[in-house]
Amino acid sequence: MTKNASEWYHCSSYGTVLMHIAAHPHSTISEIADALCLTKRSVWGTIGALRRHGQLHVSRKSRHHHYIVNPDALFFHPTVTGVRIGDLIRGLRAAPSPPPAPQSDAPDCFRQGGMVPLREFTNGGMRPWPR
């Protein structure tokens, strides 16, 4: 059985969380979960894995966590060996924005643009990596 295009995505939850944080670095766990139609628990686990592998820096100020994407971190998949996360994010920023998607039966968070639109990539998530 072939799945409908609205039922599958090219990026894993790890990739979408990372790209969402790059586009919206001041997001909370709840905001990320709502935007990507994931549970807060899965987002927290994904952020922990990204942090442990050096792709994301997490700092805490009072009661709030702040996230910084490491632009110098490398992708792990063998087909993109040597490609840095920052190169992908810069490439996405330079790409033209796609036309708005037609309305579908997808969950509300997808219909409302929850998946990171390319035009929303700003330099906010690409701050210098803490050394």
pLDDT at 11: 75
H helical segments located in 37-82:
40-52
pLDDT at 107: 54
The domain ranges of the chain are 12-95
State how far the Cα of 24 lies from the Cα of 69, in Å rounded to an integer.
Answer: 11
Q: Is 64 helix (H, G, I), strand (E, B) or coil?
A: strand
CATH 1.10.10.10 fits 12-95, yes or no: yes
pLDDT at 34: 92
pTM greater than 0.75 (yes/no): no
Strand partners, 60: 65
Question: In this structure, are residues 65 and 29 in contact, taking their beta carbons and an 8 Å threshold?
Answer: yes
State how far the Cα of 130 lies from the Cα of 120, in Å rounded to an integer.
Answer: 24
CB atoms within 10 A of CB 31: 14
pLDDT in tens, the chain (131 residues): 555 555 556 678 888 899 899 888 889 999 999 998 899 999 999 999 999 999 999 988 888 888 999 999 998 878 888 889 888 888 777 766 666 656 555 555 554 444 444 444 444 444 444 54
Helix and strand numbers (H, E) in the chain are 5, 2
pLDDT at 91: 79
Q: Is 35 helix (H, G, I), strand (E, B) or coil?
A: helix
CB atoms within 10 A of CB 50: 23
pLDDT at 126: 47
Q: Output the furthest CA–CA distance in the chain (Å, rounded).
A: 50
CB atoms within 10 A of CB 107: 11
